[in-house]
Structure 1
Amino acid sequence: MRKNYLFILLCVFTLFINCSGGDDSATPSENVGPPAIKTGKLIGKVMSQNGTKPIGGASVFTFDDQYKIYYTTSDANGNFTLDAPAGNRTIHIQTGNGSNFRTEISATVKDHETLNLDVSQTKLNQVAKIAYVKGAYDKIEDIIQTLGYNATEITNADLANLTAIAQYDIIFLNCGSRNNYSSNPGLYTVIDANLAIFVANGGSIYASDWDVSYLVGGTSNTSNCSMTGGFVPDTKLCSKNIGSTGTLDATVNNAGLTTALGFNTLNINYDLGAWQKIINYDPAYWEVLVKETSSNDALMIRTNHFSATGIPTTPIGNAPNSTFVTVCITLPGNIQISISVPQVLVPYLVALGATVGPCSGSSTSGYIYYTTFHNHASGNIGNAGVILQYVILNL
């Protein structure tokens, strides 16, 4: 009986010690932690301004109250689904780095609910001022207008007037527009200097086929390397007018472009007899977007690495009046994206690791796109047409 009594006392004592807590804290529950983020889904379709063309490869994003980004891209048909934090949010839709084409939408996101955005909300707006120089074999302005955007025709005389071109963000140089060089070479010396200032200060340029001469020199086209004139260093690019008539099998060489287009191979028909063939280029300076499949010859290239000494600082396009700033944000998986955000957000994003300026290239340079093909009226360019739409929206 005494043994049983002692055993009972021992059990009671042990129970008392365990219940009192002592120095050892209880093991926390695995479920204890910050509350789960409440999110909903936004579904939509990015369209051109006139609502006729879906826009692939567009960035769609928003931020939560701690400035964490929620990001996705539209597919080749313009469709997107964005997981977004619950609450009243501003949804951003952009192409390129967002400095020239972008749209902002106010939306109320509810936890575990899906909100379908109307196509009237998801049209991509033009905030850039666009100009083009009329060409003999090319009409990029037709594609611009087909998308519902506006471009102003300017002349080579305008290109020689820095004040005239500084009001624009993008200038398209149609193939064959540099066709009276021999009659007034002094004019083109001024043009070359102005285009250097334009690009170095953030303006973007597209040139097609023969108009590579604006970039590297030459008259209506370039017949050799290191031609007189131009503003891109001769060591960076050489193109000769030796391309022959025929259809080339081409490969899209850029993941973003592939996503936007929905394909990575195409045929390009060169039917004008003589076109500019890229002979060599600096791969650290230029990115190849489209190449010939069999030879790997570059057919479409771009750069935002332009810089030169002695270039004056000149306000270009809408940049002086813009409240948006281009920043580089790193997504999970070490994926970097260049986007434009309202100035007020910049300090908070920088505190989270973002950097001001694009993710690559010069912090002040605009883009230069060059394609050996174009949308000449007599040609059958097929899928190259949607590539040119991409060029327009991503300058």
Structure 2
Amino acid sequence: MRKLNLLFIFIVLLSLGACRSDPDTAAEITIDNSVKTGKVTGKVMSQNATKPIGGASIFTFDDKYKIYYTTSDADGNFTLEAPVGNHTIHIQTGNGSNFRTEISANVKNNETLNLETNQTKLNQVAKIAYVKGTYDKIEDIIQTLGYTATEITNNDLANLTTVAQYDIIFLNCGSRNNYSSNPTLYSVIDTNLATFVANGGSIYASDWDVAYLVGGTTNTTNCSLAGGFVPDTKLCSKNIGNVGPVGATVNNAGLTTALGFNTLSIDYDLGAWQKITNYDPAYWEVLVKETSSNDALMIRTNHFTATGVPTTPIGNAPTTTFTTVCITLPGNIQISISVPQVLVPYLVALGATVGACSGSASSGYIYYTTFHNHATGNIGNAGGILQYVILNL
């Protein structure tokens, strides 16, 4: 009988032990893994707070380095869902290497934090230069946004040390002058521009200044002319355009978001403008095209490569603490952004890759518009396109 009582007590004790939970196990079971969030709203503005900036990237990260991302609409407005806590809100255009702003924000659960316009102004990080032209003044548009650019000359372009000081160079239509009197000078310029872009510098050329890209004197009259640095197989442009308005369609989603429209009329107010007659679609992205003919009117590439080009630090590259990475968002949408270097290993561990999402690893951008950019000229809706070009180089 005693043995039976002892057995009974032993079974009872076992059953009590089985009902008792391990404290750590219980904590894991009851943890709520959902992330508490709030909203951050604001209006992205140019540096002088006079122009709203559409199509800007706004993002932050939680403590596990998950990205929270949105874009500004054509009026610059945005609403970002962000994790609760103290976080850095990033505002960028392009891949963030040339224009970006960082804001410290305390996000509270289920509350909306409204950022002031003095916080959401898009800052210039890039060192910008321009070559004065005969027909264009992109520098005027740069200045209307509150940004600064330094005037340089063709003699400066022939000095690689000078060129390498800048992140972006704007080539105004008509600046490639006096070619015939000094072809050696332009040969050096072409080599320097190739080095500049191959090492991450970005270039914008307008109308006749396509000659810097593909050769020719003040403009291009045929394919495969002497000079330039973009391979002849990639682009041909001839000055055969006619005076008058051209119906155009915006062919890029990011540009459409920034503008708030996807059709416009571009007034070609000067005769013999450069008409793109042939381009490599694998090399160039068409941003704006003629509606009726589908001819390219505005193109860009970051696929430039060149053999034998020296490795040269460009612009802010030697001192920057930011790195460009490619992150894939839900829906398999890829974005190129610049983040503090300290974040890179953690983002890579989550699947990000170092460098832009597309293009050659070290190439900067080349933008080319067949239309003009004079701020006081008859550019109409194209003005918004040119602002986009400036901020996305």
Please report the TM-score for the alignment, with normalisation by the length of structure 2.
Answer: 0.92
How far apart are the structure 1 equivalents of 2:234 and 2:37? 48
Q: Which residue of 2 aligns with 1:50?
A: 48
How far apart are the structure 2 equivalents of 1:158 and 1:112? 55
How far apart are the structure 1 equivalents of 2:272 and 2:82? 51
Q: Which residue of 1 aligns with 2:254?
A: 256
What amino acid does structure 1 have at the position aligned with 2:93? T
Matched, 1:343 2:341: yes
Q: CA deviation at 1:378?
A: 7.0
Q: Which residue of 2 aligns with 1:126?
A: 124
8 Å CA contact retained: 1:270, 1:379: no
How far apart are the structure 2 equivalents of 1:41 and 1:125? 23
8 Å CA contact retained: 2:206, 2:373: no
The structure 2 residue matched to 1:105, chosen from 103, 106, 110, is 103
How far apart are the structure 2 equivalents of 1:293 and 1:33? 57
Q: Which residue of 2 aligns with 1:353?
A: 351
Indicate the SS of the match to 2:318.
helix
Q: Pairwise CA RMSD of aligned residues?
A: 1.7
Indicate the SS of the match to 1:181.
coil
Matched, 1:213 2:211: yes
Q: Which residue of 2 aligns with 1:157?
A: 155
Q: CA deviation at 1:21?
A: 12
8 Å CA contact retained: 1:94, 1:124: yes
How far apart are the structure 2 equivalents of 1:21 and 1:218? 89
Indicate the SS of the match to 1:72.
strand
How far apart are the structure 1 equivalents of 2:65 and 2:106? 17
Matched-pair identity in %: 84
What amino acid does structure 1 have at the position aligned with 2:58? V
Indicate the SS of the match to 1:277.
strand
Q: CA deviation at 1:20?
A: 9.0
Query: Deviations for 1:349-378, whole angstroms, at most 9, x for unmatched residues?
Result: 000000000000011000000000112367
8 Å CA contact retained: 1:192, 1:230: yes
Q: Which residue of 1 aligns with 2:114?
A: 116
How far apart are the structure 1 equivalents of 2:35 and 2:377? 54
Matched, 1:301 2:299: yes
8 Å CA contact retained: 1:58, 1:73: yes
Matches within 5 A, 1:1-395: 34-376=32-374, 379-395=377-393
Query: Deviations for 1:26-75, whole angstroms, at most 9, x for unmatched residues?
Result: xx9xx966432110000000000000000000000000000000000000
Q: CA deviation at 1:22?
A: 9.3
8 Å CA contact retained: 2:248, 2:290: yes
8 Å CA contact retained: 1:137, 1:377: no
List alignment gaps of at least 5 residues for structure 1: 1-15
Query: Deviations for 1:180-211, whole angstroms, at most 9, x for unmatched residues?
Result: 10111110000000000000000000000000
Q: 1:377 to 1:33 in 2, by over 3 A?
A: closer
Indicate the SS of the match to 2:180.
helix
How far apart are the structure 1 equivalents of 2:344 and 2:366? 26
What amino acid does structure 2 have at the position aligned with 1:292? E
Q: Which residue of 2 aligns with 1:3?
A: none
